[in-house]
Chains A and B, each alone.
Chain A
Amino acid sequence: MDEYIVLNSNKSFKIPFLQGILDHKKIDNDENLESLLKKFAPDKWKYTSDSDRLQAAIDYASYHVNKLGLRGQIRFRCKPMSDNDYGNYDPNIKGITINSYYMSNPDILINTIAHECKHAEQHVRAMNPKTKEDLEFKHNVENYITAEEDYQAYFNQILEKDARKYADVYSNTYKELMKSLGYRFSKDNKEGIRSKIEKAIKQARNTNNNHLSHKREREER
């Protein structure tokens, strides 16, 4: 519990343009979000210290905590997790965990933090349902399907779809902003670590095989 950093959703955290605004379309014009996202610019990020990266992640998470109107405290931490686990939200302790591996990948980090903050909001709404959507969240919280038992159903359940939809807005905003600053993003940014490792191993094997076959050829000559 102590390793969490507490995000406060009180008024002292000032994001004047976005306080209480839930219309995603207004984000494009928001200077505060823009300045937060600029901290994640790939060339800057590469040379940003771990503590500054953590601070940028906390500021960005705090932005979502405020934007989503979360009352009370949400905990936040980064720690090593399994391959391809980007992060999670634990409603029992109101804690967001981000896989520290992805602290080096601002693109994934932007998406994951927004996604987990949205899960925090969904759980709050499910606890005290007022709308039809809140009731759907409640039903899904009570009948949550894990990725391990049925990946397809996990991916398509309402809590995950809703969190992806919310996070994608920020991913797109980030990408558009970065594009406007001259950055380019490859499609394989979200490729899993394991598949990247497998590719690297295959490549190494091929290189090694080529090297050995050349060596054999030379010896035969």
Chain B
Amino acid sequence: MMKNAIINYLINNLNKSNQRAEDIYNKLSKHDDILKEFYEWVISGQFKNFVVVEGYTAQRLFNETRLEPLGAYNYLIYLRENPQEAKEMLSKGLPKL
């Protein structure tokens, strides 16, 4: 049910292809707590702030950076897997070329 809801959201709301939606889901699913909180966001549209990584919640990332909600949850993964680099990017303001 959780997977279906997320995949449907990615395809129908974010216009992702089936393959891209699967890839996004697979990345999120490696971190159960982040996946669950993203699912909560998909069904309620609200950040629950259960998950805190290096002092950041998805809501804080969403509010303070260019990141979309999906991007905020993906960034929690980045912060968990590579905290030093992820924090350095944040300090640079997530530059985009």
Residues of A at under 8 Å CB distance from B?
82-88, 111-112, 115-116, 143, 146-155, 160, 163-164, 167, 190-195
Contact = CB atoms under 8 A, between A and B. Distances in A.
Interface size class of B (residues with CB under 8 A): 20 to 34
Interface string B36-70: 00000000000000000000000000000011101
A192 B74 CA distance: 21
B86 interface: yes
B95 to A, nearest CB: 5
A149 B96 contact: no
B20 interface: yes
B97 A149 contact: no
Interface string B69-97: 01100110110001000100101111111
A106 B75 CA distance: 31
B92 A163 contact: no
A84 B75 contact: no
B14 interface: yes
A153 B96 contact: no
Contacts of A147: 66-67, 71, 94, 96
Given A84-B66, A151-B78, A193 B93 contact: yes
B74 A84 contact: no
10 contacts: A82-B66, A85-B95, A115-B97, A147-B66, A148-B68, A151-B74, A151-B78, A152-B77, A164-B97, A192-B94
Nearest to B10: A149
Interface string B19-39: 010001001000000000000
Contacts, number: 77
Contacts of A146: 71
A196 to B, nearest CB: 9
B30 to A, nearest CB: 13
Given A115-B97, A191-B92, A149 B70 contact: yes
Contact of A84 (B17, B27, B94): B94
Nearest to A84: B93
Contacts of A88: 96-97
A193 B96 CA distance: 12
A84 B68 contact: no
A83 B68 CA distance: 16
B91 A191 contact: yes
Nearest to B66: A148
Contacts of A152: 74-75, 77-78, 82, 86
A85 B96 contact: yes
B93 A83 contact: yes
A100 to B, nearest CB: 15
